[in-house]
Structure 1
Amino acid sequence: MIARRTLALFALSSVFFGGTFVAAKAGLEYFPPLLFVAFRFDIAAVITAAYAAIRFSRTDLTPRTAGDVVGILATGGLVIGLANSLLFVGQQYATSAVGAIVFSLNPILTPVFAAVFLSNERLSPRGAVGMVLGLLGVALVVSPDPSMLVGGDALGRAILFAGAASAALGAVLIRRVDATLSSTVRIAWGLPLAAALSHAFALASGESTAAIAWSSEAILALGYVSVFAGVLAYLAYFALLDETGAIRANLVFYVVPVVSTLGGWALLDERVAPLAIVGFLTIFAGFAILGSESIDVRSRLPSAAALLEDVRSDRDARCAEDRSSVADESKGYRSD
């Protein structure tokens, strides 16, 4: 049952986050990037706060420890607010392919921060191989021109890298602190912080609401990134973070480019290159290697050896019994 719940949370996080890039690409035709992010978090904050007020008591909603406060700051400030703001700003200076690869460094950066801040989360050599395969698969999926990764605007790549580092560091800090608040309550507190941070960035960059072109398509895009990629995706992701840890939870960012590529193909008529199929299989192979760590063959060897020993002992006992019965026969009637 725990495995099914974990798989469901992973799938929901991957699908909803992956759809963000498809909706964002459509919505950025109508919204300035930072205001788009800010409005997204405004709506998500209202919905999550209403849900939390109905679902939890006042005691459950009240931060009681320093760990609760740090968890809220890491959730709203690092994982949601700063990471998304840097992602949208950096995307202005880089292609979506470069952005996908740079931001997919998140699972690689997470073990680095975990090695510093967490004593119970370490990446094994087998896990490192799986991580590298996953990153290679992401590169094959988005199929960038190598010249784009080497040349181009270094500022855009630096901003995107800072966004990935912010998300990875925030996830590790959430795991480190001894918080008493549930993940849903942390999100309810963190989303207003993320919205305020995004509005501050939008104001500092000179974005104005006058630049918004309201339309049905704009409302649909805003609705998706607010409700599905905002409320539902973060509820699933942070619950997954609490269950599996920062290293495994952040593997969703390897699946996100796969979902966004398939979503762009299905909804925006974008072409899927044959090399992307190889990338899908490479990511799957990386996950298979990571998942195999949960199967410790050596732990099963003693039980197998014990079974063989039982069979051997039973056979020796039967042989001894046969020899004893033969020895007990009368001399005149011993069989040949």
Structure 2
Amino acid sequence: MSLITARHPTPAPDTTTSTDRSTATSTAATTEKPAPARKLARGAGLGVLLALLATVVWSGSFVATRDMADTVPPIQAVFWRWIIALLAVAPFAARPFLRQWRTIRRHLGFVALASLFGVALYNTLVHQAGLTTSASNMGMIMAASPVIMAVYARLGGERLGARRILGMLTAALGVLLLVGKGSLAVDLAAGDLWMFAAALSFASYSALLKRKPAEIDGLAFLFTTFLLGALMLAPAYAVSLTVQGGFTVGLATAGPLLYVGVFSSAVAFFAWNKAIALVGAARAGVVYYLQPVCVALLSYALLGERLGLLGGASMALILGGVALASARGR
């Protein structure tokens, strides 16, 4: 009886050095998983684009707000703005709001403070300013808010860096020249002072956003601030309705209200809140310096107002300052 032994092939000796293996492993890991720096750069780019979207949309809202100033009382305009905004976001945000209600209730003080500065107070001041100042001045004065955002960021421990400070100062110089028509001496009307108060309120809201509890969904947070803001405005709305009477609903009032309710509130606030989460209030605030540029371009396109040499030079300073301050180092 013969025994047949199965021969297994002898594995070839591994001639790969440990250095080669580590190099291959490192290359594969780099191929499979994006570098953290690359992810950070993509997030920063998206944040800047979202801040730009909000800035452009808000620029149009100053024109719409000024257009309503003579026909709709400020408090009533702001109240209906947030009712329209609530209806616009409800199909997307109502379910996350109900699902996270217990979490929202735990942080209700923070959310109420954000609603006060960003929804109730800020927009009321803007509409009040529209009674006695132009849309262009409103947009240009709001460009002061990035300076306040940067101050808040610095107080919060964020390092601004020399490049960002230089970019902010350059953009601020462009804004001052644009407001002062070539002079740094600016003559302010009552509406301009209301707008500076609005800028302070908006900067405070943006600084608060950086501390938003991470467990609260963005849409749920947006819906809650809109709801609380409308509730805060309800008593003032009732007084305005009693003292001033209502307004006539027609194309001249419905169009601007729909714009500020759907686009300037629902779309722009969602984009801005997301931008703050991605790049922070100070960096998003630098993009906000483009507001006077957008308002000037809209005035030229819709009203035929020419920019002139001074307007072009001021815009160049603002754009250059924004580009310098928004750039991220290696």
2:171 matches 1:137 = no
Q: CA deviation at 1:215?
A: 2.1
- Which letter maps to 2:162? P
User: Could you tell me which residue of structure 1 aligns to residue 266 of structure 2?
Assistant: 231
User: Could you tell me which residue of structure 1 aligns to residue 210 of structure 2?
Assistant: 175
Q: CA deviation at 1:20?
A: 0.6
Q: Aligned partners of 1:162, 1:75: CA distance in 2, in Å?
A: 16
Q: Quickly say closer, same or farther: Cα 1:146–1:279, change in 2 above 3 A.
A: closer
Q: CA deviation at 1:160?
A: 2.5
- Which letter maps to 2:329? I
Give CA-to-partner distance per residue, 1:109-158, whole Å, 9 cap, x none: 11222233x22x232232111111112222344555869834644xx444
2:90 matches 1:59 = no
Retained in 1: the 8 A contact 2:180–2:186?
Answer: no
User: Could you tell me which residue of structure 2 aligns to residue 35 of structure 1?
Assistant: 76
Q: Quickly say closer, same or farther: Cα 1:46–1:12, change in 2 above 3 A.
A: same
User: Could you tell me which residue of structure 1 aligns to residue 329 of structure 2?
Assistant: 295
2:107 matches 1:73 = no
- Which letter maps to 1:92? L
Q: Aligned partners of 1:206, 1:80: CA distance in 2, in Å?
A: 20
Q: Aligned partners of 2:161, 2:87: CA distance in 1, in Å?
A: 41
- Which letter maps to 1:76? S
RMSD: 2.8
Q: Aligned partners of 2:242, 2:270: CA distance in 1, in Å?
A: 29
Q: Aligned partners of 2:297, 2:143: CA distance in 1, in Å?
A: 17
Give CA-to-partner distance per residue, 1:220-259, whole Å, 9 cap, x none: 1111111111111111010101111111122343112221
Retained in 1: the 8 A contact 2:59–2:295?
Answer: yes
Q: Quickly say closer, same or farther: Cα 1:144–1:201, change in 2 above 3 A.
A: farther
Q: CA deviation at 1:185?
A: 1.5
Give CA-to-partner distance per residue, 1:58-92, whole Å, 9 cap, x none: 434542575x4344224321122211112222343
Structure 1: tracts of 5 or more residues without a match: 297-336
Aligned with 2:164 (options 109, 127, 149)? 127
SS at match of 1:251: helix
> In percent, how many aligned pairs have the same letter?
25
Retained in 1: the 8 A contact 2:47–2:276?
Answer: no
Q: CA deviation at 1:43?
A: 0.6
TM-score of the pair, normalised by structure 2: 0.77
Retained in 2: the 8 A contact 1:61–1:181?
Answer: no
User: Could you tell me which residue of structure 1 aligns to residue 90 of structure 2?
Assistant: 49
SS at match of 2:103: coil
Aligned positions of 1:191-202 closer than 5 A: 191-202=226-237
Q: Aligned partners of 1:80, 1:93: CA distance in 2, in Å?
A: 21
TM-score of the pair, normalised by structure 1: 0.75
Aligned length: 289
Q: Aligned partners of 1:193, 1:28: CA distance in 2, in Å?
A: 24
Retained in 2: the 8 A contact 1:83–1:167?
Answer: yes
Larger mean Cα displacement after TM superposition, 23-32 or 129-138: 23-32
Structure 2: tracts of 5 or more residues without a match: 1-41
Give CA-to-partner distance per residue, 1:295-332, whole Å, 9 cap, x none: 24xxxxxxxxxxxxxxxxxxxxxxxxxxxxxxxxxxxx
Q: CA deviation at 1:4?
A: 4.4
User: Could you tell me which residue of structure 2 aligns to residue 314 of structure 1?
Assistant: none
2:295 matches 1:260 = yes
Q: CA deviation at 1:99?
A: 3.4
Aligned with 2:316 (options 281, 294, 309)? 281
- Which letter maps to 2:159? R
Q: Quickly say closer, same or farther: Cα 1:146–1:210, change in 2 above 3 A.
A: farther
- Which letter maps to 1:169? S
Q: Aligned partners of 1:225, 1:280: CA distance in 2, in Å?
A: 25
Aligned with 1:82 (options 121, 144, 147)? 121
